[in-house]
């Protein structure tokens, strides 16, 4: 994983010269933040950038809290916590208030303007889809979640 992070961080220096509205003080600040990001967090930013630009892939439309049968594994819980940390750093947003990982709606994942700068500076569009596949799986609806207490199944209202 360290090699992947190094490969992803390398473009930062060259790209910093060409991104608009950024000076050397901003570059210093961004550099100090990027050194604290794990490769998985960079993959989350890559996925968020693709969703912001292309609107795909489609992820879970309802918040996790709506599904009483949900039982998350350690990897999914870790990914959701990484997303909360990226939200606190103002890299990603969901256009709604997050009260914790259970209120995350994967389909609303998007980059903030700061996150977009990182996406460009780090050339995160070059991260391969296989590298963020675990993130897509974690943020996708699964049949074992069942129906929500809001009478929806991944954003689709159920008729009874």
- Summarised one tens digit per residue, pLDDT across range 46-71 is 999 998 777 778 899 999 999 998 88
Nearest to 60 by CA among 125, 127, 145, 119: 145
Res 3 pLDDT > 70: no
**Phi, psi values for residue 111, rounded to 5°:** -80, 145
Nearest to 8 by CA among 96, 127, 99, 104: 127
- Summarised one tens digit per residue, pLDDT across range 14-39 is 666 666 677 777 777 777 887 889 99
- Summarised one tens digit per residue, pLDDT across range 33-50 is 878 899 999 999 999 999
pTM of the model: 0.84
Task: Tokens for 57, please give them.
Answer: 């892939």
């Amino acid at each position: 994983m360290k090699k992947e992070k190094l490969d992803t961080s390398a473009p930062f220096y060259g790209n910093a010269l060409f991104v608009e509205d950024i000076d050397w003080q901003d570059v210093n600040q961004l550099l100090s933040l990027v050194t604290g990001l794990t490769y998985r967090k960079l993959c989350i930013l890559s996925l968020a950038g693709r969703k912001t630009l292309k609107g795909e892939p489609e992820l879970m439309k309802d918040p996790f809290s709506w599904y009483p049968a949900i039982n998350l594994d350690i990897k999914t819980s870790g990914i959701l916590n990484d997303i909360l940390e990226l939200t606190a750093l103002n890299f990603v947003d969901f256009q709604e208030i997050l009260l914790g990982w259970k209120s995350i709606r994967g389909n609303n994942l998007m980059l903030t303007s700061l996150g977009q700068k990182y996406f460009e500076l780090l050339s995160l569009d070059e991260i391969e889809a296989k590298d963020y596949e675990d993130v897509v799986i974690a943020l996708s609806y699964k049949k074992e979640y069942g129906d929500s207490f809001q009478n929806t199944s991944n954003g689709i209202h159920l008729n009874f």
